[in-house]
Amino acid sequence: MALTIPQIRANTMRARHLYQRTRRQNFAVGAFNIDNQETLIAVCRAAQKLKSPVLVEVSHGEVKALGLENIRDMVDNYKDEYGVEMYINLDHSPTVDDCKRAIDAGFEFIHIDISQENHDASIEEVIEKTKEVVEYAKFTGALVESEPHYFGGSSNLHTEKIDYEEIKKTFTTPDFATYFVEQTGIDTFAAAVGNLHGKYPVPKQLDLELLQEVRDALDCQISLHGGSGTPLHYFEDAAKIGVSKININSDMRIVFRKTLEEVLAENPDEYAIVKLMPEVYQAVQAVVEAKIEAFGSAGRAVI
């Protein structure tokens, strides 16, 4: 059932309060991608067990598969069932129109990423379209996130090594981050300090000194994308520095698939797949719990 405008605005106000708490209390909230009901259940169970606020997020492909209104309804239903503090983030949305539809559906967090669709988009185009989403979001109070250029990697299991000399060319600079935030009016800046999407053969390395410089330069919130495959101590430090949101996807997808493959192989005569899902829930939940502990968000939920 569609939310009313007052309900949406009440949710976005709570979302803003959550981000304020992250800064005051030095924790980050996890944004966990879902592409099915089972993953959503695993996130809810982890949030309930650890009394942690969470964001669930959906990218363009996941929205096409599940539907905006269906996602909104599922999250609201499970939020009530499990009694958790939970919000929805539209992740890496490639167009202004898609962002507007999500805002209308009551998503509390919106990530506009023009460079996702066009890697060569000019900074002028990125700023113009980001500003359009920021202006539209004022009606509901949704928080808008963006970055000035294409963010490397993909939400998958990579076999190639990380070329840090190449990645460093796309690192955030404090001066340009300040300019971008001033020009767009965004609520959250997606920083690039060694984090990139997907999971790689070697652990990721974050430039925490640069992250601190970016934090010192900006008044708005900061997010880190590409959290999978990152040693947990980086998250602990990032939360202390003042990162408000950390995105996790590939770590969950990999354990989901591997666990499902195992239980299917162990039960070749069972065709009621729902009976095999508890082990999958538990495996994904364990991943989410580990991230929540590292982010420092356990015990921070406000219901």
Distance between CA 209 and CA 50 in Å, rounded? 30
- pLDDT of 159 > 70? The answer is no
Report the CATH number at residue 108: 3.20.20.70
Mean pLDDT, rounded, for 51-71: 96
Residue 11 lies in a domain: yes
Across 120-134, 201-215, 228-242, 243-257, least confident range: 201-215
How many residues does the structure list for the chain? 303
pLDDT band at 132 (very low <50, low <70, confident <90, very high): very high
Distance between CA 269 and CA 265 in Å, rounded? 9
Closest CA to 209 of 172, 164, 166: 172
Residue 115 lies in a domain: yes
Residue 81 lies in a domain: yes
Residue 302 lies in a domain: no
Residue 202's pLDDT is 63
pLDDT band at 228 (very low <50, low <70, confident <90, very high): confident
Residue reference for tokens 């379209």: 129
**How many domains are contained in the chain?**
1
Report the percentage of the chain scoring pLDDT > 90: 81
Residue 151's pLDDT is 67
Residue 114 lies in a domain: yes
Name 221's Cβ contacts closer than 8 Å, sequence gap at least 6: 19, 22, 23, 143, 145, 187, 188, 189, 244, 245
Residue 139 lies in a domain: yes
Residue 303 lies in a domain: no
Residue 300 lies in a domain: no
Residues classed as catalytic: 91
The more confidently predicted of residues 190 and 194 is 190
Domain that holds residue 236: 5-295
Mean pLDDT, rounded, for 161-170: 71
Rounded to the nearest integer, the mean pLDDT of the chain is: 92
pLDDT band at 101 (very low <50, low <70, confident <90, very high): very high
